[in-house]
Every structure is written in structure tokens, then in C-alpha cells.
Structure 1
Amino acid sequence: MVLTKPALGEDVQLGMLHDVRSGQFFAGLSLWDNNVINAKQQVEGQQVQDPDFTYTTSLDDARVWAGLDLEGCLNLDLGITKATGWAMYLKDNTTNIYEARIDVSFRVARRIRRIPQNTLSLMQHQHNLDDPRFTHFVAEVVEGGSATLTFVQSCSSREEAKTVTSRLKTDIASFLVGIGTSFDVASQSETDAENLKISYSGAMAEEVIDMEHARVIARGMPTKLGRQLNTLSYTLLPISDLESSVRREVRAIDANLVAKVAAVLKAGSTAWTALTNLAEKDVFRISFPAIEKQIRNFQAAFAEAKTGFTASARRILPELRDGTTDYNTTSSELLAAAALFEQRTKLAEQFIAKKLTEELVLGETVASLLNDGFENRLGPFTTTSLAKTEAPRLLLSFGGASISRYQHPLQKELASTTLDSARSGSFDTRRSTADSEDDEDDDVEDEWFENQRTVANVREACAALRQQRLFAPPTVSFGVSSIEKAYRPVAGSGKMKRVKTIPGDIVLQQDGRLLIVTSLLPTAPAAPKLAIKDQLLTATWSRERSEAEELAIPTSGFTIRFRPLPNALKDGAFPRATPNEAFTEILCDAETTTVVIDKSNNGGVSLLDDCDYEVTLCVETPVGPSARSKCAVGRTLRLPSVASRMIDFYFNDKQRLSCQRRGATPWELYQTGGKDSLFLGLSVKAERRSTQEPFLDELAVRIVDVAAEFEPEIEAALTQDQDNTIVVVFAGTSGHGKSTEINAFISYLLGGEVDDPVRLMVIDDRGANQAQAVTQCVTCYRIRPLSPLFEGKTLLIVDTPGYGDTRGVERDAFVTAAMSEFFKTIGHVNAIIFTCRANEVRTTLLSPVSTYVFSLFARDVQGCLRTIYTFSDAGAPLARAALQELQWPVQNGEVEVNNAAFTIEIDNQNVDKLRDWWLMSVKGQYQVMQMLLRMPPVPTAQSAAVTKTRLTLEQKCKLVEKKILRTANDAQNLIARLDALANAVGAAPGDKILVIQDKSVEKPVPGGKATTLCLDCNWTCHKICAYSDNEEKKLCVAMTGDKCDQCKGRCHWTRHKNAQHIIVVEQFSEWVVPEDLIKLWNTNNNTLEGALLNAINTYLALQEELRDDILILAQMTEVLKSTALLHDPTALLGYIQTLILTARARGAPPEQLLQLTTAKNTLLLTLEVRKRGVQASVQSQVLLQVLGAVREEMHRRMKLQPRERATEEAKSCSLYNNLRECLPPEIQSKAPDPLKVKRVNWMGRTIAGALYPENLQAVVKLVQVVLKDGGVVAALAAAN
């Protein structure tokens, strides 16, 4: 039988003896000496080319490529044969059951050495053929080089292993390019180098550091392997080929038997690897070392079983190949050993499956608790270390026999399996019931995580600990641990017994002891029983905890929690409580079982009447309170409302309350065809009169106490007390229900009901029409906290006069003055409420209110602005869009109310409808009060400054208006007189005589020469000077000391410079007009100009004053723009224009029209100043500039001597052109064109420029342009 096998790294030589039964070579024994072999051998050399290359993705594929058959693989796994050198990668060194593996192998076959068949019989051999150990000899060897790079990465699943293998294949392909190899890959990837293990199998051991190092090794392999002559494979011939008389019977083993043994061995190896991985899991290794030890013990037992099976297989397989043994008996023995190990492997697989399940349950449970903030007390913690604490600690324990046992029942089962049971086939992994009853701890089925009751207990314990942690104080800690034994309370004995724990036990660690408190944590008690008497609630409960509960976690007290609760079915239109009211707690000791709930434990405030109260109970313990009991609900009795008590108070003392008193308005019952009204008495506490013109000494602010005679023991907070006084300002257009809303709101606060005999009123609107406001001054109604709705706050309701009524803008202006006094009186405000009809869409009516509010208040009250829509019905209020157009911040908060039921009497026909409307009104008022209680106070200091600036601005505008109109008239007069002057100024007389005069002239200095010129005297002190440097002029001969001898004033030498010319005196002759004629002409001109100068001086003085006033207006406007909510006179201007047209249409008296016109002019002026800012004074500035220049020119000409004046008049004048160049661009573009100037044309002729009279006429036109379109003066003049 000829056999060809891989050398597996062994140094196999020709002639070596081999036993195929045991797979062994006999070192040192050969049929021939080397010199004989070398002489007789046949060598076939091969040319070294590219190496054979392959890559495999599993150990089985690698072995097939290496030439190992199934029996050869089995021999290698059993250790019958060894793999060394280049074949080391063929050994099973798996460390993880899920691995991504790629073996990249290179092989270079350099030569084949053999002994030819015809030579064998002729060769002499040593006398070794008689030894029965030898069956074959080596007749041929293939030599060369081989090496393999192995890439292995551990994975967590089979799917991950596939993915990683694909990625490894892609990455490895990148460094094999160019060395004769190729991979079928799509693209490159990146490998997780940190977890990748790379090894090298070759003739010489070599350590591979990383992927880059592997790349270097791979590229050097072809060259390196091409120089090696290691044995790659060999061929065996039977000894009988040499000597026919020597025969060795070698039996072939049944392939099925080999496959069976290999499969069993592989399954065992896989189980061994899984046990190793299992023991290394963090849950067991770190958190549960007892389970890790249990796994290690089982692994040791299984290792012993595996070693036993391997030894049996290594012994039996050679016997099977030996033809002298009984094949059937020997094969049966091997099958029995394989069956026994297969059964033990199945036990190991069961154990592994159980532990994986346990690891999953433990891992998820512990991780969930640790993520919730529980302490990690797992691992190598002893009971002693756990006991070192004084503060309570609640622990979820995973302990007990099923977790901490040293030997698992399956391990005992594994040890109890025998070869006899394997032969008989009677093995069963299930234990009998009797065995289970005899040894509870060893029961195979007794796994805690397989017991549904135990798993449920663990979940319940987790939920209980999480629940208790919600209520526990910070001193109580929570954690996870593994405790073997702890004390458990024994019911009826009052003692503790130390017992074993089970998984899911809750253990209390306190005062050095560990107590099992599973199912003993405080639980929610039964709801307390309530008894109601008047405004008192009495809560009663019983002590329900068992003796064991009290022994483990004693009760330290009870906590009663209560709060008012809204009840839509019983509260009706007047709910006493709001949703989500705050709880009040009462702490009781452990012996108390009854508590009375009244104002003594309610912050000194009596319980609300006619209101549901919910009461809950919880048990206090050292580990925190229990969950709260179910709510017990009781309702207090209804007490008479404040409104009903007020009505009774009035009728009981009607005579006294109805009497007139100084400084007070009496109570008054008003009976009409509708609902009777009771006007509450008002007591004046303070008044403030206006200090502003034209409303000087007129009543502006009044503060009154409402119903001061009723329950006087309830005191009002001071108006300056920002914490206890809520100030709310109501503003609105006349006739939009503002006063009615205030009355309805106060009635709600006092508890008014729909069926009260009378309506409570504060604001008296009797006799008022829809066009006029009820309120005449700013009235502040101070209301004491008479009902719980006030929450102890005093309410100051501010009713402002209405805007836009028929009394005109004078009363609107009064509001500004009155609010100025209000800000001086009240130091803060909480809310500013705009009341308007819900269906009002006309911005012309709403604009005055919003604009005045924006103008009166500073920006810091932006958050105080709120909206109330009166006369509201179904659907969104139409007024919202109009208010948004006016930039009113409706988004701050808005409430819809309808007070139609407030003044209507109930009768049988409308009772249900009226109650519905009443409920609608009360709900709206409730929303208003809730809104007010949440709003913080805002100081009024900045608003006071805004109002003061606004009043000053309005007064200043009226004065400026008169000045503007006056200056406009004066400007027209000046224009006429300037025009007259321009026409009157004529040419000078023309008769001339010859006159000779001396004149100073400049002459150039010869080239390269220097001269000394005095800058002050404009005179040449030294014609030719030796010093050309100005710093050396002190050395000039004209100087004596520091002074010049040639200057009349003895000028200092530093005032002398070098010049390029000298100044000399020469005589000139010319023809001139005689002096007497010039004087007469000059006298006439001076008379005209002198009269005009006086008028110009007067006008300029007034214009300068006007300019300064406009600048002041601009500064005040800038202040308002930066401080007021919104300073925009545009809206009011349209409103005033509408009033003017209406007044004219109905034939209003001239006085009213004059008021409206004055108001319009004031707003117009304010608007122009706001738009232009400091540029509003540009017109006045230009007029000052123009007329000032004219005045200066006239002064200059009048000061000239007659002859000089005559000469000047004949010259071209640039007065107008100079003025025009300095004009602002917006006026310059509209001014007359520039006048012609003196110049020389292209023919060399001189063209004369415009004379003085022409300039005056151009100035006249310029002034007319400025007055027509130049700023506030022009705008105001055009409007009038």
C-alpha cells in the first residue's frame, strides 16, 4: 500500500522507517546510510516560479489544502501526529467558538528526491526488516518552502464572524497585490486591528506585530521560500516491496468509525472552548465569582473526561489498524468510549446553555438596576464589609445555594456516567424524582432562572426597590449584591433566624446586620376614614402592619397629605379650588391614628368652604415612606359668601350706611326694572390734583376704600407693599364695557351668585351714555382680602378715564396729566388691561387707547399688558386682528368675558339661560384673577419719567407752533423788503478825474538769492540776505538781538522767513469818480439797507430761538422713543382728523374746532420731529445761515467808504453761489440755479459775473423755497 502524506513540519528523509498503525517515524533508524541514498537517489529539480498560494476561511479547509484526510486530521487532533514549523497553523488552537479566520498559505516546491523502483531491489539495507514495529519506509520526498499567515478575530455571533471574515478578506487582498496572488473582492475596508491576532507558521518562528508587518512578511515570502529545502510531503512504500517474505498486516479503519470519533472529538473541543469563554464573561468573572468558580470546576471535570477519551482513542486506533487484533471487539470499545464522551459533551452543552441563560438574566437585571443609580456591591465583597455601615442600605441579593454552590448538579451527572451505561445505551440526562427529592441542591432542574416563580420574585423585588427608592430619603442607599445568608424575622417569636437567601431576596443592611425584608417593605396603607364637621376634617386610620414587618422595618410615624380638589359636578360657577393644588403635609408619630385638619395645620388659613378635599396616608419607616394610600375625599360645608354677608350687613344697618358723610360715598340700593343693585360705600383715602397746565388743580387721582365699614378688622396692605398689593390698571375706549367689567370682577371676588337678591356695584354708571366715559378721573379702588380668592392680597383696581368720547381731545389730554399724577402716587403696577368689545374691528376707535397706553407707559411694563374682550360670544374675537394690527401684544394673555347676565333679573322664562350666561361670566373673571395672581410687580418710576417727558413735549409743541406761524409771516415780509432792496441798489456815478497813488508791489528775487520777509508786517526787511535757512534768520543783519530793526513793531526774528520776492513801493495813476458824488450815492444805499438790517436782526433772533426749541423737541422725542412702549403720533393724527371732520359736519362751535386744530398741529409737529429727529431743525438752520450771510454782507458793504462801496458794486458778487454750496443736499436740489460768475471765454474776452442786486434776488427765491419745503415749518404752514 503506497501512501503519500504531508510532512507537517517534520524533517522526513529518504529511507526513514515508519509505523502507519501508530503514525510514528523512528528517529535515527533508516534502511540506508545517507551516502548510499545520495549515490542512488534520483533528483528532479524544478524552476522556482511564483509560489502556490491559497487562502482558506476555516481550519477544515486549511487542512484539506495541506493534504490531510479525515484520518490524518483525527490523528493530529488526538496528538498521534504532530504539526510543527510551517504546519503549526493546522493545529486546533481555537479560543472562541465564534471566530473569523483566514489562513494565507504560500508554498514553493523546489525538488523531488526518490529512489527509483528498479534500484530498490539492488540496494543493500540494514537488518531492520525483522522488527515488527516497522511497516513502511520513505521512498520519496518533496522539498521546498512553505509558510502561512493566520488572521483570527474573536466574534460574538456567527453572523458577526461572517461579516468580519468578509472584511478581513478585503483588507488582506490589499497587500497581496503584486506578488502573484489575487482575491475576488469588491473594495477595501478597515480591520479592527486592536482585536485582530496575526500569527506566522514557517520553518523559522517569527512574531507578527500588526497588519503592516504582515504586509512586509508576505511580500518577502516568495524570495524567502525559494531558498528553502524543507520536506513538504513524502511517499511511503511497504517493507514487503523490499523483502517479499516480510509482511506487516495493516488494516484500514472503517471510514464511518473515523468520522464518528472525529465528530465526537470536535464537539468536545467546541464545548471546551465554550466553557472557557463562559468563565471569562464579565458577569461571572467580576460580579459573580462563585458562578465562575462553578464553571471552572465543571470545566475541570469535563477536561478530565476529554483527556480520558483522547487517551482511549490514541490507544485503540493503532490496535484497529493492526491486523492481529479482534476488529469487532476493539471497534466496539472505541464506539463505547466515543458514546460516553458524546454523552458527557451533551451534559456540557446543557450546562453551557443554562449558564448562558443565567448570564443573560443576571446581566440584564443588574445592568438595569445599575443604570438606575443602584450601587454595585457585587464581586469579592464579604458579609463583613457589607455590614460596615450605619445608614440603611437596601440590597437586591443574588445568592443562595443555586448560585453559590461549588459543584453543579450536571457536574455530578457528568461524573456519574460510566462506560457501562454508554455501552448499554441507557444513559438519560434527566434525574429521577426520587433523586431530586433526596438532594434538593443537586437537582438538575433546580436552576433559579428556570423557575418562573423565582424569576417573578426577582422582578417584583426590582419593582419594589425602585418604588421605595422614589420615596426614600437621601440617607438610604440602594444596591445589588450577592449575599449567602442573612437574618429573617420569625413571626410569633419576636426573634431573628439566620437562613440562606434565594435569588431576588431584598436584604436590609443596617446597624451591622443583614435582614431579609422581602415582602416586608412598607406598602401603601388603606385610605383613611374622614369625618366632616363644619370646616373641620377628621382623618382616622389603623395600624395594619404585621409583627414581622414591624420587627424588620419598624414604623416611625405617619404622614397625612391633603389638598383642595375641584369638583365640576358640585362646584358650579364658583370653584373654590384649581387643578393641581399644592399638598399640605401633617407629620404624626407612630402611635397616632387620628388627626384633625383645620387652620392650625393649614398655614393658619381656614379650609375652603363648599370644597372637596382629598386626603392620603403613608407610613414612615427608617427606609423611607411607603407609597400613598388611595385618596379619601370629603367636602366641607358651604358658608355664606362675602357678597351675601355684605347684603345682610347693609339691610341690618341700612339707615347708618345710607347717610351722607364727608369724604365718603354712602351705600345705596338702586331698584330698577332689572336686577336691583347695591352700590357699596366708598371712603376716600387720598386725592391728588393735577399740577399740569391747563388742568391745574383739577382732581386727577382718587384712592378709595371699598366697603370700609364691612368687617373692618380685615386690614388692607399699604399701596407701597409690592408683595401684598396687586395693582391692575383698566383702560379702554368709552362705551366698551370697562366699568361693567370692573363691577363684575369685584362681584366675583366677593362671591356674588346668580340668585343673590341684589348685585354688588362699585362704579356708578347710571345716567352715562355710550359716547361718554363714566370715569372722570383716575380712580383707585382698594379692596381688602375679604375672601380666599384674594390669597391674602389687597387688590388696587385702577379705573382710568375713557378715550375718544364726545368731549374731545381736551379730556384725552387730561388723561395724560392724570396718569402723570397716578405714577407719582402708586409705585408699582402688576397688570395693564385693555378692555374692548370682542366684535370691534375698527382700528380708528381702538387706536387712541393703544397709542396712549404705549405713550404713557415705559418699556419695562411690556410684560404687564393683557387683553379682555367684553360682550364675547362663540368663535374667536374679531377684535384680536385689529389689536394685532395696532401692535398690541395679545399674545401676552387674553380673556373673553360676557357680563350680559350681571344686570338681568331671573324669572321663570330665562332661568336656565341666565345661569349659563352667569357661569360664562364667572369663568372669565376666574381666569382674570388667576392671571393677576401670577404677574409680578413692575415699578412705575420709568413710566412716570415717560409721562413727564410727554407732557413737557406737548406743552413745548404748542409754544413752538405759535413761533412757527409767526416766523412764517415775518419771513414773507423779509422776502418783500429784500426784493425791494435788490431793485433799489443802483450803479455808482460815472464822471472820472486822473489820480496818482503809491502802491506796494512784489518783485522776484534773483535766482539763488535769499531775502528776509516779515510775516506780520508783510514787508521786506532785508532784500538780499546771506542766510536762506529760516532757522538762521536770527543772524540776519536786520536783527539786533532777537528783534528786527526794520519792522515798526520790532517783530521777533522767528516771525521772519525766507521768500522768493521782495516788496517795494511804486506810483500808479488812474481815473476815478469824484468823492462828493460817491458819498451822496452811498448815503441813499445805507438808508435802505439800515432799515432792512433791523428787520433781519429781529427775524434771526426769533429764528434762532425756534431752532433751539426744535432741537429740544428732537431730544425729548429721542428720549420717548427709547423709553416709552411705542412713541408714534401717526395713529392719533388720523383720529384727530376724524374728530375735526365730525365736528365740522355737526356744526361744532369755533372754540371746539380751535381745540381740535391745536391738537392736530401739536401731533403734526410731534410727528415731523419724530420722523426727522435733529434734522427737524434744518429749515431754521438754513434760514439762519442764509439771512445771516445776507446780514453780514450788508454790514460789510455799509462799512465801506463811499468810493470803496462804489467799486464793490461794480464787481461780480458770489454771495448766492457761496450760500448754495453750503445748503443740505435735500434743499440744494430744489434751490435756484447758480448765478453766472466772472470768467474769460474761449475768445479771450472777459464775461462779467452777477452783481450784488442779482444775488439778493436769488436769495429771495431761496428763502421762498426753504419756507415751502424745508421741514416742520413748511409742514405746519401747509397744514394751515
Structure 2
Amino acid sequence: LPPRRSSLIQEGPPKRYRLHTERKDLDGNGKVRKWTYGEKDASKPNKTVLLVGETGAGKTTLINTMVNYILGVKFEEEKWYEITEEAAGDQSESQTSEITMYEVFSMKSPMSLIIIDTPGYGDTRGLDKDLEVAENLSALFQSKDGVCEVDAVCFVIQAAKNRLSDRQHYIISSILSLFGKDIVNNIVFLITHSDGLPPQNVLSGIKKARIPCRQDKNDQPVYFLFNNRQTEGRHTKERHIRAQRDAWEDSMDGMKNFFQSLNEMNRRSLELTSDVLIERIQFEASICNLQLRIQEKELKIAEKRQIQEAMMQNKEKIEECKNFTIKVRKTVKLKVPIESKSWKHRKATTCTICQENCHEFDCWWVSDPSKCEVMKKGYCTVCTGKCHHSKHVKENKKYVVRISNVMMEFDSIKKEYEKAQEQSKIYSVLMEHLDKDLKEIEDQKSNLLSEAYNTIKHLSQIALKPDSAFTLQHLDFFIPRVREAGKENWVRELEEMRRKAVADEANKDALSYLKAGLGKLFLPGK
């Protein structure tokens, strides 16, 4: 390649070069970026692949192998080109949290290539960092300079793996939750560190996890094999050189087969995917909002019943028009500073009219409430009043419901209701008012439960993997409350949804990982 297109980073052999790329920030935060090599030729077909893999799976080498294949590099040239920031095998890859979109345009190739590289999973940072991927993918799919179609979603797995770890299950479950139902035939597996033989261990793990994917005529998951030793220094002994050549050829054959398969697959629009992404974000926000509102209603009900009980115990004093004091656990809504170790949970979009949290978690990558994902055509999809975005603020504060033990005088309770025409009827009138309040709050709670049920059901109809670990946690909160409301048909539907999810080892392991890690990021508990 011309010197202006690359820089030598290691003498070799093979000589290693870093490709010069034009770089662009797509989200304003440096979390979604586009690196372009070469000049675009609109006459050539373009292929777009999304790569997902655990840290250490060999994803970096695989990306560079794709690039060298497109550039037409041969073993005899003793050259190796890298488009990635770090060297293959460098553990610094585990510290990245950005999504990078690589565009590769080569005069030697009949096609151009876009590689979407998601962060490596499984390092010591845990779930807190893993959760960023969905938000960043959402930004990429929505950016005018991003992608709107995909040819393949590729899970990168080491050949030696005989089962998928809890974390891999979580990763796959969360990624699949982002895609529409029509993406299944585009999901394939790229097996790294392969010796060229069929990866029976990996195939067994994939089938056991029941991962939706493309299958061959024998109903086996479609996979492609790669050896990850291309960057190793060249040996001098003939048999070692022969082994290295074979490893190179195996990987290039795997790459040839992979790219040929892209012609057979149907390219998928990400329009539905973007819809699922936005709807999942709105779903998570709505469920968190509904949960807080339902909890508030439950506390209000308890407060009213406590007042009723105190009135029954002091009925004579009320009828004699005597004032008295009672102790009440009063419900108070406060706006408090957000305390989170995660920078991306330190701000929330809240409604100043409804006094509600409209987007509490993962609300980090937009600075203006009008651009928040929960807004649709300028109005909030979450808060009770569905208020205009101008009535919202984004700050490091959120609403919480607290219980405060207060001493209340009966006279102050009377003032909350209309004055009875006759003092002798004040007890019965106040009890009627309290009963009316209770009925109204119960109805409001029932409506909130209905809204939550419909939200969960609708999402399950459009998402590829609706019974995700996230949905399971929500079901655990809502099923007992729906049962209490007497909605047996809803309970059966939600329990069936939950039963299928728990039976799925992928979700079961993902949920255990989610709960053991930072499950509190989604819901603060029942």
C-alpha cells in the first residue's frame, strides 16, 4: 500500500502496518465512532457485519483478518495490516467501551466492507460496562452517518469453549433482544483459534443454549473457522513455515466462505431493529416509572387505611367534636440527588408537572430532554400527563417516594375534606370520603397494572427474544400484583411467558448473572 495509507509498527516478518483511517465521532461523546479506510466506490456492493464477542475471543485479530482478505494480502508477501487501535491479543481491548464502525474500501476487492465492532465482554468491569452496548448500538443505528442495513450478526467464540458462560448467555440474550424477528437467518458464528476440525464443543453449547441463528441443510448452526496466528513471527524451519502457511490459508478459506455466504443471505433493514431499540428503551423507562407509581399508590392506600383505623378507634371523640393526635406513616415524594457509581446513571429525565421519573436509567447520551428516547413527536411517552418535552428537565436528581412517621391532628385531617353540614355526621362523611379515595387509588393502580401488562405483551410481539433477563425481572414484580388484582387471564399469560424464559438456559444463566451483578441498575427490588 502507498506509505500515506499506512505506517510500519513492527519490522517482522511479517511486517505489521497500521492503516491510516479518517475518523468521525457519531454521537458527540466518542462512544460511537466511524473509521474509514480508502475511497468509497458507489459502483461496488457493500457488506455490513456486526461482531459480538467475549474479551479474549480473538475478535481483534478476526477484524484485521477481514481487512487483509479485502486488501488481497498473500502469505508470501510477509505483510499484515491492522485497522484496529490495539495490537491483536493486547489486553487493552478489554478496557474499551466504544462501538467502532470500520469502513474498508479497496481497489483490489469487488466489494466494500463495513465492520461494526462492539466492546469486548467479560472483563473485570462487570455488568455496568456491558450495559452500554445497547445504548451505543441505538446511537449508531439512528445516526445519519451510521448504518441502516446489516448482512450478518456474528458471534465470535473460541473453538475450545464447550459451554457458554453465564456472561456469554447474558451477552447473547441482551444483543438478541435488540433485533427484530426477521434477523434470525443473518446470525452466524465465527469460531476462532480453530485447528480446522469441526468445533463439536462449541456447536453443542450453541444448541444447548437454543440460540436463534441461521442453520444449514442438516439443521446445524452455520459457522466459519479461523486460526488466530497470522501476526506471529515467521519461523525459519520448513515444517514450522508450512504450519504457519496452513494456518493462514485456513483463515483465508474461512473468510472466503463467510463472504460468499453473505451473498446467499438476505440483507436486513435495521428499521425494525431501531424500532425495537427505541421501544425497549421506552419499555424499560415505562416499567420503572410504573413501578414507582404503583408503589406510591400502595403506600397511599396503606396511609388512608391507617387513618381509617385510627378514626374507628376514636369514633366517640370525633362525634363529640374533640381533637386528638394520631401517628401516621405518611407518603412523601421528594427530589433527591442521584447517587450512582456509574457515570451513565447519574442523570435522569424528569417531568416537572407530573413530578415523575420519565427516563431514570441509561439516560446519559443526550443532553437535552427533547432528544431523550422516551420522547415521541415532542411529547413524553412515559409520564402520566404525557407532557411536552419543555416541561421536562435532565439533571442529576430524581423523584423518590419516602415514608415519614408524622403525628397528625384530627383537625388537619378534616380540613382535607369538605366540611360536613352536621357535626353529628362528620364521622360517616369522612369515612365515605376515605373510602372514595381508596377506591380511586385502587382504580389508578389497576390502570397502571393494565398499562404495564400491555407494554410487556406488545414488546413480546415485536422483539426477537422477548423473554430476556430484563423482562424476567419485571415479571417478578408485576405477576403478584396482577394476581392480587384478580386478572387471572393476565397472570396465566405472564406466568407462561416467565415459564418459557426460565426454562431457557440462556435466560436462566443471564438472570443469575444479572442478579448477582448489578441487577439493581434496572429495578430497585419489589
TM normalised by structure 2 equals: 0.62
Task: Give distance in 1, aligned partners of 2:443 and 2:12.
Answer: 67
Q: Helix, strand or coil: the match of 1:917?
A: helix
**Equivalent residues in 2 for 1:661-1060, closer than 5 Å:** 667-671=6-10, 676-684=15-23, 687-689=25-27, 697-706=28-37, 708=38, 715-717=40-42, 724-766=45-87, 773=94, 776-787=97-108, 790=109, 792-824=110-142, 825-840=146-161, 841-873=163-195, 874-888=197-211, 889=213, 891-892=215-216, 894-909=222-237, 910-985=240-315
With over 3 angstroms needed to count, the CA separation of the structure-2 counterparts of 1:698 and 1:959, relative to structure 1, is: farther
Indicate conservation of the 8 Å contact 1:772/1:806, yes or no.
no
Task: Give distance in 2, aligned partners of 1:959 and 1:1126.
Answer: 23
With over 3 angstroms needed to count, the CA separation of the structure-2 counterparts of 1:811 and 1:863, relative to structure 1, is: same
With over 3 angstroms needed to count, the CA separation of the structure-2 counterparts of 1:964 and 1:782, relative to structure 1, is: same
Task: Give distance in 2, aligned partners of 1:1109 and 1:1128.
Answer: 21
Unpaired runs of at least 5, structure 2:
320-421, 491-522
Q: Helix, strand or coil: the match of 1:891?
A: coil
Task: Give distance in 1, aligned partners of 2:186 and 2:52.
Answer: 13
- How far did residue 844 of structure 1 move? 1.1
Task: Give distance in 2, aligned partners of 1:973 and 1:688.
Answer: 50
Task: Give distance in 2, aligned partners of 1:683 and 1:877.
Answer: 41
Indicate conservation of the 8 Å contact 2:61/2:228, yes or no.
no
Paired AA for residue 292 in structure 2: K
Task: Give distance in 2, aligned partners of 1:918 and 1:1224.
Answer: 62
Q: Helix, strand or coil: the match of 1:705?
A: strand
- How far did residue 827 of structure 1 move? 2.4
Across the aligned residues of Structure 1 and Structure 2, the Cα RMSD in angstroms comes to: 3.7
Of structures 1 and 2, the larger Rg is shown by: 1
Which residue of 420, 427, 434 corresponds with 1:1093?
434
Task: Give distance in 1, aligned partners of 2:278 and 2:36.
Answer: 28
Task: Give distance in 2, aligned partners of 1:933 and 1:917.
Answer: 25
Task: Summarize deviations over 1:501-529 as a string: whole Å, max 9, x none.
Answer: xxxxxxxxxxxxxxxxxxxxxxxxxxxxx
Counterpart residue number, 1:530:
none
Counterpart residue number, 1:9:
none
Indicate conservation of the 8 Å contact 2:47/2:113, yes or no.
yes
- How far did residue 804 of structure 1 move? 4.6
With over 3 angstroms needed to count, the CA separation of the structure-2 counterparts of 1:1116 and 1:855, relative to structure 1, is: same
Task: Summarize deviations over 1:721-763 as a string: whole Å, max 9, x none.
Answer: xx82211111222332222211112112222233434420111
- How far did residue 1224 of structure 1 move? 5.4
Paired AA for residue 225 in structure 2: V
Task: Give distance in 1, aligned partners of 2:450 and 2:245.
Answer: 61
Counterpart residue number, 1:144:
none
Task: Give distance in 1, aligned partners of 2:444 and 2:98.
Answer: 37
**Equivalent residues in 2 for 1:238-249, closer than 5 Å:** none
Task: Summarize deviations over 1:616-675 as a string: whole Å, max 9, x none.
Answer: xxxxxxxxxxxxxxxxxxxxxxxxxxxxxx1xx22xx5xxx6xxxxxxxxx443238985
With over 3 angstroms needed to count, the CA separation of the structure-2 counterparts of 1:804 and 1:835, relative to structure 1, is: same
Task: Give distance in 1, aligned partners of 2:472 and 2:303.
Answer: 28
- How far did residue 816 of structure 1 move? 1.5
Task: Give distance in 1, aligned partners of 2:193 and 2:286.
Answer: 41
With over 3 angstroms needed to count, the CA separation of the structure-2 counterparts of 1:844 and 1:677, relative to structure 1, is: same
**Equivalent residues in 2 for 1:638-653, closer than 5 Å:** 646=1, 649-650=2-3, 653=4
Q: Helix, strand or coil: the match of 1:764?
A: coil
Paired AA for residue 776 in structure 1: S
- How far did residue 676 of structure 1 move? 4.6
Task: Give distance in 1, aligned partners of 2:11 and 2:291.
Answer: 52
Task: Give distance in 1, aligned partners of 2:255 and 2:50.
Answer: 15
With over 3 angstroms needed to count, the CA separation of the structure-2 counterparts of 1:887 and 1:967, relative to structure 1, is: same
Task: Give distance in 1, aligned partners of 2:128 and 2:49.
Answer: 25
Task: Summarize deviations over 1:276-335 as a string: whole Å, max 9, x none.
Answer: xxxxxxxxxxxxxxxxxxxxxxxxxxxxxxxxxxxxxxxxxxxxxxxxxxxxxxxxxxxx
The structure whose RCO (Cα within 8 Å, separation 6+) is larger is 2
With over 3 angstroms needed to count, the CA separation of the structure-2 counterparts of 1:959 and 1:681, relative to structure 1, is: same
923-932 vs 751-760, greater mean Cα deviation: 751-760
Q: Helix, strand or coil: the match of 2:155?
A: strand
Indicate conservation of the 8 Å contact 2:301/2:441, yes or no.
no
Task: Give distance in 2, aligned partners of 1:702 and 1:943.
Answer: 20
Paired AA for residue 41 in structure 2: A
- How far did residue 952 of structure 1 move? 0.7
- How far did residue 918 of structure 1 move? 1.9
Task: Give distance in 2, aligned partners of 1:768 and 1:967.
Answer: 54
Paired AA for residue 884 in structure 1: K
1:1165 maps to 2:474 = yes
Task: Give distance in 1, aligned partners of 2:95 and 2:173.
Answer: 21
Paired AA for residue 464 in structure 2: L
Counterpart residue number, 1:1124:
463
Indicate conservation of the 8 Å contact 1:731/1:833, yes or no.
yes
**Equivalent residues in 2 for 1:64-79, closer than 5 Å:** none
Q: Helix, strand or coil: the match of 1:878?
A: helix
Task: Give distance in 2, aligned partners of 1:862 and 1:1122.
Answer: 15
Length, aligned pairs only: 380
Q: Helix, strand or coil: the match of 1:936?
A: coil
- How far did residue 828 of structure 1 move? 1.7
Counterpart residue number, 2:344:
none
With over 3 angstroms needed to count, the CA separation of the structure-2 counterparts of 1:737 and 1:1106, relative to structure 1, is: farther
Task: Give distance in 2, aligned partners of 1:772 and 1:1177.
Answer: 45
- How far did residue 856 of structure 1 move? 0.8
Which residue of 419, 443, 450 corresponds with 1:1111?
450
- How far did residue 766 of structure 1 move? 4.1
Task: Summarize deviations over 1:988-1038 as a string: whole Å, max 9, x none.
Answer: 99xxxxxxxxxxxxxxxxxxxxxxxxxxxxxxxxxxxxxxxxxxxxxxxxx
Q: Helix, strand or coil: the match of 2:200?
A: coil
Counterpart residue number, 1:109:
none
Task: Give distance in 2, aligned partners of 1:679 and 1:1176.
Answer: 58
Counterpart residue number, 2:359:
none
Q: Helix, strand or coil: the match of 1:716?
A: coil
- How far did residue 926 of structure 1 move? 1.8
With over 3 angstroms needed to count, the CA separation of the structure-2 counterparts of 1:984 and 1:745, relative to structure 1, is: same
With over 3 angstroms needed to count, the CA separation of the structure-2 counterparts of 1:900 and 1:738, relative to structure 1, is: closer
Aligned residues: percent identity? 19
**Equivalent residues in 2 for 1:621-640, closer than 5 Å:** none
With over 3 angstroms needed to count, the CA separation of the structure-2 counterparts of 1:927 and 1:980, relative to structure 1, is: same
Task: Give distance in 2, aligned partners of 1:965 and 1:717.
Answer: 56
- How far did residue 776 of structure 1 move? 3.2
Q: Helix, strand or coil: the match of 1:867?
A: strand
Indicate conservation of the 8 Å contact 2:164/2:206, yes or no.
no
**Equivalent residues in 2 for 1:330-369, closer than 5 Å:** none
Paired AA for residue 451 in structure 2: I
Indicate conservation of the 8 Å contact 1:861/1:938, yes or no.
yes
